[in-house]
Structure 1
Amino acid sequence: QSYSTKEFFTIYSGNRLSPIHGIFLLQENDKPAAGKLRITRYGDDGKTETFDMETKPGVPAVCRTSLVKPGFVMVKAVLLDKDGKTVRRNWLNNSCIVEFGMGACVAPEKLKQGVTEPADFDAFWRKAKAELAAVPMRVLEKKLVKETGISRIYDVKIAAVGKRPVSGYLAIPRNAKPHSLPIQLLFHGYGVQSAEISESPNAIVFFINAHGIENGREAEYYRKLADGELKDYGFKSAENQIPDTCYFKNMILRNLRGLEFARSLPEWDGKTTYAQGGSHGAFQALAIAALADGISGCNINIPWLCDLGGIEVGRLRGWRPDYAPGLAYFDTVNFASRVKCLIDISAAGLSDWVCPPSGVWILFNNLKGKAYMTVFQGLNHAHYPGYTHETASRYTYTK
């Protein structure tokens, strides 16, 4: 037997004391059920409340709250047993807490970042790109690792700034003619791992490793790096005090060099380049869209590192480094205002505890050009048990 929760919601946009109701209906095997829920309310007003509620079959538990300023409230319900202990159930071969969350907002279009961008933001990145340009673009390795019916796939390394090169998997369609194909740059989420092999019959696909490390190695290689040199990368407060020592600086410069390399390929059509990623990969993709010329479009989802200064004004923290001045040069909301291409935020979670919705909405607000953002009710960074992306309530905003 398994339990699930289903939600009903309304997003309200206004500028007064706004009532917000979170409604949870408990079901067991898709039938109404009774039980005890521990409900926690978190808000951009800095308030957190936790309380227990008993439910009857078919009678929802209702969390009533409000906001007095633009921002978000997120509400989470966790199922308890008769002894008050958290209930776990098997879902997708994992033991998971039976829980569900949702969010609501007041006047999100009025949200502004918690800390203003640095006055020398553009000057810093001009200098950083000059450092990259001083290192000649040189292919260190281009090794054929796989051939499929669609493409030839290469493990490549390209000289860049810092101790590591650009590394990644490059897929070029078989029998591609010169000047015939667009480029698709792909970036992965937070972690220490190999780039992934991805291919398309209609594009050059370059999946860039976030760290410039080797690809396709045994698990122990990545585990040692994750437990050692790359442990908690990007989270070290001492490094984040100034932008030149932030871990993310060389990551972004490697990505720019990867773009330069991809555009040097004879198969590129000379005009079309797309960037794509989710979470930590979305941060990288948007940075490229902001710092490089001629990006045609950028598709991102559940973007990370948004409004890092939001915690300074009491907003939901999420999972992010402690705020430090150097991080402002890598805040996704600051990159957003410099993007010139179409941006499609294909998924943003109203209940994302890693990338809170207020920061994502500020990113959307800061975009100057055409953009889409689809928000999903009940979407956490890692899906709640029973959540299905295909049937979740959603709405697409356009600007």
Structure 2
Amino acid sequence: MDAAARAPAPPSGRHTPRDCLQSPHAVRHPPFDFDPTHGRTLDDLLTIGPPDAPPDFDAFWRESKAAADGIPPRPRLGRLVEERDGCRVREISYATLGGRCAALLVLPIDGPARHGFVIGHGYGGRADAGSDLPLPLPGSAAILPLAPGLPELGLRPDLPSDPAGHVLHGIGSRDTYVLGDCVAGLWGAATALLELVPSLDGRLGLLGESFGGGIGALALPWDDRFAAARFTVPTFGNHPLRLTLPCTGSGESVRIHIRTHPEAMEVLAYFDAATAASRVRVPVLTACALFDPAVPPPGQFAIHGALGGPRELEVPAAGHFAYEGEAEERRRLDRVTGDFFRRWVG
């Protein structure tokens, strides 16, 4: 079996794929030019792990984290956006590698914050905080960073805002690839949150969905301020495998790019979320879909399979696709998420 599809060694801690939700609802879908399951059953998907890492993978990321740590965040509060779910939401910005990043800051209206979260977003950007509220635990503060270049607050004239262009920006070198700045944006967000709410004492939860899940997995191993994480339908897992699979998401532009620029695989090896996940030792809850036209399920499960610490798994019927029973599964995931962070962060 090649490295792209080899089974990982069992990690320590909880691993509960058989306890995950098996949807009773069939996913009804129009025809695609490909099968969004890519012919994999759950048993198949649970055998997928990370590809081989470059010898200096860890050194590259530790150096990146050290460079990010050398930049004071200097957070600036902006306008009040809204008040809802017992929280007050404000725009803020902070300094990090690659320049200032925009974000939303969420603080409890009544009483001090007892827990803190950094919450990434999907490749569609973030127009508001609505989909991320209420937070996983009551009495929490959170920072919701905007990846540089993405709508709305993260827009920058020097970066493409469309996913197909953004995911290729700077891909000629590991030092210029835009995903590096996106990872640094999460680290900087944590630093800014802890400066604004020092009572959190460095014990944070990390959440990310799709693009945000992949970036979160890349950021997590190198930052000991995160006590636990949840990644939902995460991308950037096992590039050698995922780039053999067609999709409707940003990975398709990378797959097409690789045909004429195969040397870019050397850069992508440093931005493989499954490789990074194999360095993670804190508890992680993953939600990996069986059917997903935008993010191939084998890449999602590669991240879960690589995790090196306590891990829990939820399996929604589909990702990036509307289906009967989706709201029910999302409510379940929210309940499981609250229980998970209550154990590890609360």
2:328 pairs with one of 352, 367, 390: 390
> Does residue 169 in structure 1 map to residue 169 in structure 2?
no
What SS does structure 1 have at the residue aligned with 2:267? helix
Q: Give me the whole-angstrom Cα distance separating, in 2, the residues matched to 1:348 and 1:25.
A: 16
What SS does structure 1 have at the residue aligned with 2:96? coil
Q: Give me the whole-angstrom Cα distance separating, in 1, the residues matched to 2:275 and 2:290.
A: 22
- 1:3 is matched with none
Q: Give me the whole-angstrom Cα distance separating, in 2, the residues matched to 1:327 and 1:287.
A: 12
Alignment of 1:267-306 (within 5 A): 268-306=199-237
2:302 pairs with one of 358, 362, 369: 362
- 1:352 is matched with 292
Q: Would the aligned equivalents of 2:123 and 2:150 in 1 still touch at CA under 8 Å?
A: no
Structure whose residues are more often strand by fraction: 1
> Does residue 245 in structure 1 map to residue 176 in structure 2?
yes
Q: Give me the whole-angstrom Cα distance separating, in 2, the residues matched to 1:112 and 1:349.
A: 16
- 2:48 is matched with 111
- 1:20 is matched with none
Percentage identity across paired residues of the two chains: 19
Q: Would the aligned equivalents of 2:81 and 2:89 in 1 still touch at CA under 8 Å?
A: yes
Q: Would the aligned equivalents of 1:204 and 1:268 in 2 still touch at CA under 8 Å?
A: no
Unaligned residue ranges in structure 1 (runs of 5+): 1-12, 14-23, 28-36, 44-71, 75-102
Q: Give me the whole-angstrom Cα distance separating, in 2, the residues matched to 1:39 and 1:335.
A: 31
Amino acid corresponding to residue 268 of structure 2 in structure 1? L
Amino acid corresponding to residue 151 of structure 1 in structure 2? C
> Could you state the TM-score of these two structures normalised by the residue count of structure 2?
0.71
Deviations 1:120-148 (A, max 9, x none): 11111122223223333322x21241463
Amino acid corresponding to residue 195 of structure 2 in structure 1? S
> Could you state the TM-score of these two structures normalised by the residue count of structure 1?
0.63
Point out which structure has higher relative CO (alpha carbons under 8 A, 6+ apart): 2
Q: Would the aligned equivalents of 1:189 and 1:278 in 2 still touch at CA under 8 Å?
A: yes
Q: How much is the aligned-residue C-alpha RMSD, in angstroms? A: 3.7
Alignment of 1:261-272 (within 5 A): 261-266=192-197, 268-272=199-203
Q: Give 1:350 deviation, angstroms.
A: 1.1
Q: Give me the whole-angstrom Cα distance separating, in 2, the residues matched to 1:132 and 1:276.
A: 20
Deviations 1:193-240 (A, max 9, x none): 435254555100211111277866xxxx96x969x7334344327x32
Q: Give me the whole-angstrom Cα distance separating, in 2, the residues matched to 1:127 and 1:39.
A: 42
Q: Would the aligned equivalents of 1:246 and 1:327 in 2 still touch at CA under 8 Å?
A: no
Unaligned residue ranges in structure 2 (runs of 5+): 1-6, 8-24, 259-263, 337-346
Alignment of 1:1-399 (within 5 A): 42=35, 73-74=38-39, 104-105=41-42, 107-113=44-50, 115-139=51-75, 141-146=76-81, 148=83, 150-162=86-98, 164-177=99-112, 181-196=114-129, 198=133, 200=135, 201-211=138-148, 229-231=160-162, 232-236=164-168, 239-266=170-197, 268-311=199-242, 314=244, 319=249, 320=251, 321-322=254-255, 323=258, 324=264, 325-345=266-286, 347-377=287-317, 379-384=318-323, 386=324, 388=326, 390=328
Amino acid corresponding to residue 360 of structure 1 in structure 2? Q
What SS does structure 2 have at the residue aligned with 1:254? helix
Q: Would the aligned equivalents of 2:233 and 2:295 in 1 still touch at CA under 8 Å?
A: yes
Q: Give me the whole-angstrom Cα distance separating, in 2, the residues matched to 1:26 and 1:188.
A: 24
Select the structure of larger CA radius of gyration. Answer: 1
Deviations 1:328-350 (A, max 9, x none): 222110121121221111x3221
